[in-house]
Amino acid sequence: AAPATPVRDADAEATLTYARGVLEAEARAILGVTERLGDAFLHALHLVRECAGQVVVTGMGKAGHIGQKLSSTLASTGVRSVFLHPAEAVHGDLGRVGPGDVILALSNSGSTEELLRLLPLFKRMGVPVVALTGDADSQLAKGADVVLDIGRIEEACPLGLVPTASTAALHAVGDALAMTLLRSRPFGRDDYALLHPGGKLGRSVLRVFELMRTGRANPLVVDTARLSEAVVVMTNTPGRPGAACVVDRDGKLEGIFTDGDLRRLVERGHQDFHVPVREVMGKRPRCITPETLVLTAAAQMRELRVDQLPVVDVEGRAVGLLDVQDLLAAKFF
């Protein structure tokens, strides 16, 4: 049985009030940083945008987790980036860093020992360091080339110790840097799709040409062929699409003949399989282009209640077929 809903008493209301206060404290911390963005942010943006190597993000503890997310965000938007664990760096992982790289070092206190140990090594390697910190007078800030100062932030914690509001601010500044960088670069939906082939994100930007059946799997029959030939093509085409695209001698789409059309002919007593397929095909079928979003094509299939959509190029040639089986396999239905 489902657990009973807790009774809303005075203690419950106080709990909710406190929880809302945590969110408000983190929101204030993020909004407070907006006033601090200035020339240092522009300098950091320039360093990252002009980076000839990769953006190396580093940090310990909670700041390190925020750093891993920042590195992942950069990579997902086409910026070469890796996360460098400061403790592992001094045991060989420093080899991840090379000429042309830029370091993004995250530490709210600016006194993280493992990070400070790396500063002279970064200096020796000639790579610039951008510090994201809450203390502009810290050793990290003094050893960095650029400082993004989030300021002193009161944590949203009853002890005043657990990194909460400060990590929210670090996270937000990292996102601001990554998204401003994205805005300044030629990176579009197709580029994003290339880097996100899996999951819901990948499906949302997938194009028809990535799923459609082509070559031997594209069931084509010329319009002068007999109906019996069209049925053979439908049966013998790999994947058995249950349809044949009818084309003229130049390969341009003229119509489509499907299993449903065949069943309806049989129900009406039609037994002449020697007639040209153009006489019994569906004329002027709805079709799509290779660049159509698969989500759009799937919506058309649902609306039209069809299992196949011919795919044509700009000259009207039947270059592929999108089958409902392909959409099911890709989890669009």
Q: CB of 77 within 8 A of CB of 182?
A: yes
Burial of 308: CB neighbours in 10 Å, binned 0-12, 13-18, 19+: buried
Any idea what the CATH number is for the domain that residue 39 is in?
Answer: 3.40.50.10490
Q: Is 85 annotated as a binding residue?
A: yes
Coil, strand or helix: which one is 310? Answer: strand
> Is the model's pLDDT at 224 over the cut of 70?
yes
Residue 272 has a pLDDT of 84
DSSP 104: E
Containing 132, the helix (H) or strand (E) segment is strand 129-133
Number of domains in the chain: 2
User: Among candidates 121, 155, 153, which has minimal Cα distance to 135?
Assistant: 153
221 and 183 share a domain? no
200 belongs to a structural domain: no
Q: Domain span at residue 176?
A: 12-187
- pLDDT interval class at 189 (50, 70, 90): confident
Residue 180 has a pLDDT of 97
Work out the average pLDDT over 239-248.
94
Q: CB of 29 within 8 A of CB of 159?
A: no
257 belongs to a structural domain: yes
User: Among candidates 289, 131, 318, 290, which has minimal Cα distance to 209?
Assistant: 290
What is the number of other CB atoms lying within 10 angstroms of the CB of residue 112?
A: 24
37 belongs to a structural domain: yes
31-70 per-position pLDDT tens digit: 999 999 999 999 999 999 999 999 999 999 999 999 999 9
The span from the CA of 191 to the CA of 186, in Å, is 9
193 belongs to a structural domain: no
Residue 97 has a pLDDT of 97
242 and 113 share a domain? no
User: Among candidates 253, 86, 62, which has minimal Cα distance to 153?
Assistant: 62
Residue 183 has a pLDDT of 93
User: In the block, which residue shows the tokens 């249950």?
Assistant: 242
28 and 128 share a domain? yes
Burial of 239: CB neighbours in 10 Å, binned 0-12, 13-18, 19+: middle
52 and 139 share a domain? yes
Work out the average pLDDT over 98-119.
96
3 belongs to a structural domain: no
214 and 315 share a domain? yes
68 and 162 share a domain? yes
The span from the CA of 325 to the CA of 333, in Å, is 10
Six-digit token pair at 175? Answer: 């996102």
DSSP secondary structure string for all residues of 194-259: HH--SHHHHHHT-BGGGTSB-GGGS-EEETTSBHHHHHHHHHHSTT--SEEEEE-TT-BEEEEEEH
Burial of 313: CB neighbours in 10 Å, binned 0-12, 13-18, 19+: middle
43 belongs to a structural domain: yes
159 and 243 share a domain? no
Give the chain's length.
333
The span from the CA of 113 to the CA of 92, in Å, is 18
> Is the model's pLDDT at 1 over the cut of 60?
no
The span from the CA of 253 to the CA of 289, in Å, is 12
User: Among candidates 78, 75, 327, which has minimal Cα distance to 210?
Assistant: 327
Quick one: what percent of the chain has pLDDT higher than 90?
82
Any idea what the CATH number is for the domain that residue 273 is in?
Answer: 3.10.580.10
Q: Which amino acid is at 170?
A: L
Six-digit token pair at 222? Answer: 């010329």
